[in-house]
Structure 1
């Protein structure tokens, strides 16, 4: 026979569920940022943007203290972000260090993706090219993790041969162990974690930490991703692929 929950246990359960729901709402709406790296520890601050941020006032962004910006340029084998060219030109005009990222699609041929990404990559990019590897927003029903790994290997080889250095990799906590952990050891890491500082396996370190996906920055209406660089201005200068 099932025992009835005591009033105290029932109250504690309801309270726990309520606090969990409240915490989720606060984080998802940007009202609470659990991971909030200090400017003293991480003085180089950045954002990443795409068409979802709409028209951006880049003068206001630069005046707010942002140092660098990554922009979504391409996805799959034929899609280009419609805001990319405008964002690229305007961010360059106000003097921000710029980089691009390609959203790697699990169900698209690696050669097609590499060709499309490379054709869109501006030669004057200051920051390393990034490949974004994550489950969120990706295709469903892909063949297997092993197949995606092989496809990503092919993509990385083509891009590395073309640009002359190992591309950086963006990953979240769910995609990192499946596709990145123990692999691409020459590639800088851009890791997301909104609760605490990210970590990689062994003595491997990260270069960029995306600590919020619901941040606010002057000049941008609505939420924007916030990032910090792992180092000072000297390290950041060394991280760049062109001055």
Structure 2
């Protein structure tokens, strides 16, 4: 009996040894479930205007999510989650007097479907940082699953504010905003930014700050040399079940176990 058992074990080991898995981007939407973070799956989203990635395809990263605003309209969050959406950042406020009318609907829908959420503020350089931070706090309740986001980019097409402060001023204003939100919500916000703003303002010098970088035509290591990033927005033309029309898609820089620990604020 013992000899037969030994042979069975050896046979199983022979079959298991060297078994390879397909690259993550080739998996079907529900093909991968990580036991340490069962809500995380490799997605299989579409893209209305796909980029021909030469290096480090976004599909190499397993944790993907959206950022949304009023322009997406109503979202079927359960369908979106089932397709591979592991998180969402929802637009809440802009400047010091604009609130996104879909914020509460998106927030409640994501919560009901079990999609981790955070909110973002679109910054205008014609308002003091303190005033904008207070406006955000008035509109965004505590209880988010993720840190909130300060969206800083140039606004050349704005009808009300096209100021372009120097880098020192930008960093000082960002620091004030981040400090106020950190004191109120208990976790330091992330900074979202674009290639030109990142280069013009040297915003990477902000201390204790994680970054969410937009790069739809190249990996961040190519577009933002030497940068350290937590999230990467890799397309603005994504097609995701449950979402009407095109939507921004992002990936988290890490595997599901790292995502689970980071989300739980273990870092």
* TM-score between the two structures when normalised by the length of structure 1: 0.79
What secondary structure, in the 3-state scheme, does the structure 2 residue paired with 1:115 have?
Answer: helix
RMSD of the TM alignment (CA)? 2.2
Asked if the contact 1:74–1:120 (Cα under 8 Å) also holds between the matched residues in 2, the reply is yes
Alignment of 1:175 with 2:197, yes or no, is yes
Task: Choose from 238, 241, 256 the match for 1:233.
Answer: 256
CA distance in 1, matches of 2:176, 2:110: 31
SS of 1:131's equivalent? strand
Q: Distance in 2 between matches of 1:34 and 1:128?
A: 31
Q: Which residue of 1 aligns with 2:233?
A: 210
Q: Equivalents in 1 of 2:61, 2:98: separation in Å? A: 34
User: How many residues in Structure 1 have an aligned counterpart in Structure 2?
Assistant: 213
Between the aligned partners of 2:58 and 2:181, the Cα distance in structure 1 is: 34
The CA distance in 2 between the partners of 1:172 and 1:62, in whole Å, is 27
Q: CA deviation at 1:233?
A: 1.4
Q: 1:95 aligns with which of 114, 117, 129?
A: 114
Per-residue Cα deviation, 1:118-137 (whole angstroms, up to 9, x for no partner): 22233221111110001145
**230-239 or 205-214: bigger deviation:** 230-239
Q: Find out whether 1:33 has 2:51 as its counterpart.
A: yes
Which of the two has higher C-alpha Rg? Answer: 2
Give ranges in structure 1 of 5+ residues lacking alignment: 1-28
Name the CA shift for 1:132/1:90 in 2 (closer, same or farther; >3 Å): same
- Equivalent residues of 2:94, 2:121 under 8 A apart: yes
For 1:44 and 1:65, locate their aligned partners in 2 and report how far apart those are by CA, in whole Å: 8
1:106 aligns with 2:125: yes
Quick one: structure 1 residues 72 and 180, their matched pair in 2 at CA, closer, same or farther if it must change by over 3 Å?
farther
Displacement after TM superposition at 1:232 (Å) = 1.2
1:100-144 CA-partner distances (Å, limit 9, x unpaired): 111111111111101011222332211111100011455213554
Q: Partners of 1:194 and 1:227 in 2: how far apart?
A: 10
Q: CA deviation at 1:146?
A: 3.9
Which residue is equivalent to 2:68? 49
User: Contact 1:181–1:201 (CA<8 Å) still a contact in 2?
Assistant: no
Q: Which residue of 2 aligns with 1:86?
A: 105
**CA gap 1:206/1:118 in 2 versus in 1, 3 angstroms:** same
TM superposition score normalised by structure 2 = 0.73
Task: Quote the offset at 1:164 in angstroms.
Answer: 2.8
Tell which deviates more after alignment, 155-164 or 138-147. 138-147
Aligned partner (choices 207, 216, 223) of residue 194 of structure 1: 216
User: 5+ residue gaps in structure 2?
Assistant: 1-46
Distance 1:125 1:230 in 2: 20
SS of residue in 1 equivalent to 2:117: strand
